[in-house]
Amino acid sequence: MELVQKAEYEADEWFAAQVVEEEWLKEERINQAPAKRKWSPLEAGWNMCNIGVEFDKNSGLVGGGWVLRNERGVVLCHSRRAFSGCKSREDARFVVVMWDMESMRTQRQTKVIFAGECGDLFGATSRPEAWTSFQFQSTAMLNELKGIAEWKLMVVSRETNRGAFFIAQSVTNLGLVNSYIARGHPEWLFELFVNESRNL
């Protein structure tokens, strides 16, 4: 009897958490400003790290990319990495976000805005009490972020995250699986990044 009551209590708690999550998502959608296609200058001293993720469900191959830009939108450096063994898009997103946060920590970044199509993960990190089903992920991300003095999380659309997404996509679509970190932007995305930094 005690076991049944405990199971019912845990089930009720889980369903209540799902309702809270859905309400929070609705509120975020209502309050979210329309996606901007142009680069918006940041606060002085802050850098933005755009995160790109692409997942091939047939092979389990994941492409990850990040682009670090300064307050004026100039690309400081970027990176690409391939991951394997992911079973879902959610797993792929988590693996890439963790790698991205680790990268910013090892790059000794102190004021970083992480921007990506990661509403669930960013929501779980900002408000873990409302995202209990993401407790493992939020704990892991918060531990990784301890090495960064100040950070913010920003959910952005694919349109405003094109550069990082194209870098990630080059893993799955072009088979570019070699990982690297390089200064500036990729030469093949020169026009995209220069136009964005000029706010065109």
Residue 6's pLDDT is 56
Determine contact, residues 116/98, Cβ cutoff 8 Å.
Answer: no
CA 129 remoteness from chain centre? 20
The superfamily (CATH) of domain 47-197 is: Ribonuclease H-like superfamily/Ribonuclease H (3.30.420.10)
The residues with which 113 forms a beta bridge, in sequence order, are 48, 152
The one-digit pLDDT tens for each residue of the chain (200 residues) are 766 565 564 554 444 444 444 544 554 444 444 444 556 768 889 999 999 999 999 999 999 999 999 998 899 999 999 999 899 999 999 999 999 999 999 999 999 999 999 998 998 888 888 788 888 999 999 999 998 999 999 999 888 889 999 999 999 999 999 999 999 989 889 888 877 766 54
Residue 82's pLDDT is 97
Residue with tokens 């901007």: 36
Residue 20's pLDDT is 41
Starting at the edge strand found earlier in the chain, the sheet holding 111-116 runs 150-155, 111-116, 47-56, 61-69, 75-83, 180-183
Residues contacting residue 36 through CB under 8 Å, at least 6 positions apart: 160
Determine contact, residues 147/154, Cβ cutoff 8 Å.
Answer: no
CA distances to 9, 108, 159 from 13, in Å: 6, 40, 37
Backbone phi, psi, residue 56, to 5°: -100, 105
pTM of the model: 0.77
Query: What is the β-pairing status of strands 61-69 and 75-83?
Result: antiparallel
Determine contact, residues 51/116, Cβ cutoff 8 Å.
Answer: yes
